[in-house]
């Protein structure tokens, strides 16, 4: 009898020790921005012998990046943006602040218990996270935005009261930069949640491989500036075109490539036509954008607000000198100008900063070296170590 008990005790202990931890990650669709790209990088590097990953997305909207591993169990809250259920839920909350059906959307498609639940982006993922927060003792949420200058989650996604309640349900709040953490604490107060900083990972080998995998049909015979991102107001493409116009007027010879798509596309194209910006090319959304990066000479981030702009990290990984406006994220990534050039937010300042690089091949060469040196700071290995500590309830 003692031998029987000992034998099955060992089997039970072995199963407990080697049982995979079950993790739920809640996000938007995997189409679009930097945060989604970081999530895909994470999913492609997790050790699936130790972790069972469930991914809940808002829409079955297609994957804009590399396919995620088959080990990931994917569920969706809505079919697509035209799903009538999505529209009903949106209007009920945005007009009346009512969560009538939303809680059941996610409860019906995820399991009843997890070792950790992660809402990987602020806003809607956090909103749905709070409906299932009781299914784990380890609730983690990510903040990718500078909420002090771009508190976009308030209004149609959250009332201030509901957002505060959601954050207070979290065991940990993770920020992609120290500045993002400080801005959050300016809004919600210090000590209201357990806050950590974890820089976004950059898959350097993957980026280099993709950059060389395809050569766009481009006739490049001038110094080339490139800007990559969503064509939306906060990204500052409007002022970038104004600065291009200023540079053209002063006689600078260069090309400007814009890689991305978004709501401001027609407005930007109209500005290009009206002002004769024949040296500006809109390439649309490109997957991946790295072949355009690697052929350019200068990367420009003209944003009004950024918490941790991943495109800056990607440009530096490819050895592209960076000019960026003084957003919280850019200042931190570039260490106040040590690794790239920073501009104030006025058109004149951005003009002068870009012109300084166009005027000096020596400076351009120096910031190329600095970009490559800085890029070693962002790697997937350290990110994964910190991520595993978070979901294991260890302190960072």
| In the predicted structure, residue 14 carries a pLDDT above the cut 50 | no
355-395 residue pLDDT tens:
999 999 999 999 999 999 998 888 788 899 999 999 987 66
Q: Can you tell me which residue has the tokens 């401001």?
A: 264
Q: Higher pLDDT residue, 217 or 262? A: 262
Indicate the angle between helix axes 265-274 and 237-249, nearest 10 degrees: 10
> Element (H or E) spanning 5, and its range?
helix 2-18
Predicted local distance difference test score (pLDDT) of residue 16: 47
Q: Which of 25-29, 99-103, 211-215, 271-275 has the highest mean pLDDT?
A: 271-275
Asked which of 54-58, 147-151, 337-341 is least confident by mean pLDDT, the reply is 147-151
CA dist., res. 31 & res. 68, Å (int): 12
In this prediction, residue 62 has a pLDDT band, given cuts at 50, 70 and 90, of: low
CA dist., res. 345 & res. 357, Å (int): 18
Predicted local distance difference test score (pLDDT) of residue 79: 84
Is the N-terminal amide bond of 288 cis, ω within 30° of 0?
A: yes
Indicate the angle between helix axes 310-317 and 34-43, nearest 10 degrees: 60
In the chain, the percentage of residues whose pLDDT exceeds 70 is: 93
| In the predicted structure, residue 224 carries a pLDDT above the cut 90 | yes
Predicted local distance difference test score (pLDDT) of residue 350: 98
What one-character DSSP code corresponds to residue 170? -
C-alpha distances in angstroms, 28 versus 86, 112, 218, 314? Answer: 13, 21, 34, 22
3-state secondary structure of 143: strand
CA dist., res. 172 & res. 197, Å (int): 10
Asked which of 19-28, 203-212, 279-288, 334-343 is least confident by mean pLDDT, the reply is 203-212
Q: What is the mean pLDDT of the chain?
A: 89
| In the predicted structure, residue 4 carries a pLDDT above the cut 70 | no
- Quick one: CA dihedral 359, 365, 371, 373, positive or negative? negative
| In the predicted structure, residue 116 carries a pLDDT above the cut 80 | yes
Whether the predicted model's global pTM rises above the 0.85 cut: no
> Which pair of structure tokens corresponds to residue 47?
């050790």
| In the predicted structure, residue 249 carries a pLDDT above the cut 90 | yes
| In the predicted structure, residue 61 carries a pLDDT above the cut 80 | no
| In the predicted structure, residue 13 carries a pLDDT above the cut 80 | no
Q: Can you tell me which residue has the tokens 């990931």?
A: 72
Question: Mean pLDDT throughout 273-290?
Answer: 93
C-alpha distances in angstroms, 302 versus 184, 238, 347, 394? Answer: 23, 9, 10, 38
Question: Mean pLDDT throughout 179-196?
Answer: 88
What one-character DSSP code corresponds to residue 279? T
Predicted local distance difference test score (pLDDT) of residue 324: 97
């Amino acid at each position: 009898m003692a031998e029987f008990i000992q034998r099955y005790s060992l089997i039970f202990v072995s199963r407990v020790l080697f049982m995979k931890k079950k993790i739920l990650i809640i996000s938007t669709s995997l189409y679009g921005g930097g945060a989604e790209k970081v999530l895909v990088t994470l999913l492609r590097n997790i050790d699936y012998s130790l972790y069972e990953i469930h991914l809940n997305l808002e829409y079955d909207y297609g994957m804009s990046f590399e396919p995620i591993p088959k080990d990931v169990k994917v569920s969706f809250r809505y079919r697509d943006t035209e799903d009538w259920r999505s529209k009903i839920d949106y209007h009920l909350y945005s007009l009346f602040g009512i969560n009538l059906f939303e809680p059941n959307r996610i409860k019906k498609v995820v399991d009843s218990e997890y070792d950790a639940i992660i809402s990987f982006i602020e806003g809607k993922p956090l909103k749905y996270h709070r409906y299932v927060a009781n299914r784990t003792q380890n609730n983690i949420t990510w903040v990718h935005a500078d909420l002090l200058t771009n508190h976009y989650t308030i209004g149609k996604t959250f009332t201030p009261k509901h957002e505060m309640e959601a954050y207070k349900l979290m065991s940990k709040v993770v920020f992609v930069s120290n500045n993002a953490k400080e801005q959050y604490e300016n809004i919600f107060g210090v000590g209201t949640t357990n806050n950590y900083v974890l820089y976004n990972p950059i898959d350097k080998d993957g980026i280099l491989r993709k950059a060389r995998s395809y050569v766009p049909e481009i006739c490049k015979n001038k110094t080339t500036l490139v800007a990559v991102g969503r064509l939306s107001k906060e990204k500052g493409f409007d002022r970038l075109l104004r600065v291009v116009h200023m540079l053209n007027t002063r006689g600078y010879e260069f090309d400007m490539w814009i890689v991305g798509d978004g709501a401001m596309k027609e407005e930007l194209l109209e500005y290009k036509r009206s002002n004769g910006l024949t040296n500006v090319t809109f390439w649309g959304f490109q997957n991946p954008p790295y072949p355009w990066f690697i052929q350019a000479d200068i990367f420009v981030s003209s944003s009004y607000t950024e918490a941790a702009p991943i495109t800056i990290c990607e440009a530096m990984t490819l050895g592209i000198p960076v000019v960026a406006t003084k957003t919280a994220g850019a200042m931190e990534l570039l260490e106040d100008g040590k690794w790239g050039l920073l501009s104030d937010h006025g058109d004149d300042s951005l003009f002068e900063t870009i012109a300084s690089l166009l005027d000096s091949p020596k400076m351009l060469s120096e910031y190329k070296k600095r970009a490559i040196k800085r890029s070693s700071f962002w790697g997937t290995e350290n990110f994964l170590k910190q991520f595993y500590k978070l979901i294991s309830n260890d302190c960072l």
